[in-house]
Structure 1
Amino acid sequence: MARRADAERNRALVVRAAEEVFGEAGIDVPMSEVARRAGVGIATVMRNFPAREELIEETFLAAMRDYATAAAAAAADPDPWQGFRGFLGYLVRVQGGNRGFNQVLTTMFPGAERLEAERQAALRDFIRLVGRAKAAGKLRADFSPHDLPLFLLATSGVVRPGSEALAVAGRRLVAYLLRACEAGDTEPLPPAPGARELYRALENSSRGRPA
Structure 2
Amino acid sequence: MTRLRSDAQENRERILTAAQELFSRDGLDVGMREIARRAGVGPATLYRRFPTRDALIDEAFAEQMRTCRSIVESGRTEPDPWEGFASILRWLIEVNSHSRGFVDAFSTADARSGTLSVHRRELLATIDEVAERARRDGRLRQDFTLSDLLMLLSTGRTIASFPEAGRARAAARFATLALDALSAR
TM-score normalised per structure 1: 0.76
Once the two structures are TM-superposed, the CA of residue 3 in structure 1 deviates from its matched residue by: 7.8
Match of 2:97 in 1: 96
In 2, Cα distance between the equivalents of 1:151 and 1:121?
19
Count of residue correspondences = 184
In 2, Cα distance between the equivalents of 1:2 and 1:148?
40
Unaligned runs of 5+ in 1: 185-211
In 2, Cα distance between the equivalents of 1:113 and 1:159?
25
In 2, Cα distance between the equivalents of 1:2 and 1:151?
41
Once the two structures are TM-superposed, the CA of residue 111 in structure 1 deviates from its matched residue by: 4.2
Deviations 1:98-120 (A, max 9, x none): 22212212222544331111111
SS in 1 for 2:61: helix
In 1, Cα distance between the equivalents of 2:123 and 2:108?
14
Once the two structures are TM-superposed, the CA of residue 129 in structure 1 deviates from its matched residue by: 0.5
CA contact (8 A) 1:92 1:159 kept: no
Instruction: Please identify, of 9-18 and 80-89, the stretch whose mean Cα deviation from structure 2 is larger.
Output: 9-18
Unaligned runs of 5+ in 2: none
Q: Are residue 105 (structure 1) and residue 110 (structure 2) matched?
A: no
In 2, Cα distance between the equivalents of 1:103 and 1:161?
17
One-letter amino acid matched to 2:74? A
Task: From the two aligned structures, give the one with the greater helix fraction.
Answer: 2
Q: Which has the larger radius of gyration?
A: 1
**Residues 76 and 26 of structure 1, relative CA distance in 2, 3 Å threshold:** same
Q: Are residue 120 (structure 1) and residue 121 (structure 2) matched?
A: yes
In 1, Cα distance between the equivalents of 2:180 and 2:13?
44
Deviations 1:82-107 (A, max 9, x none): 11111111122112112221221222
Match of 2:135 in 1: 134
Once the two structures are TM-superposed, the CA of residue 162 in structure 1 deviates from its matched residue by: 4.1
User: Larger relative CO (CA 8 A, sep 6+): 1 or 2?
Assistant: 2
CA contact (8 A) 1:159 1:170 kept: no
CA contact (8 A) 1:69 1:122 kept: no
TM-score normalised per structure 2: 0.86
Match of 1:179 in 2: 180
Once the two structures are TM-superposed, the CA of residue 177 in structure 1 deviates from its matched residue by: 2.1
SS in 2 for 1:139: coil
SS in 1 for 2:153: helix
1:35-46 mapped onto 2 (5 Å cutoff): 35-46=36-47
**Residues 164 and 80 of structure 1, relative CA distance in 2, 3 Å threshold:** farther
One-letter amino acid matched to 2:182? C
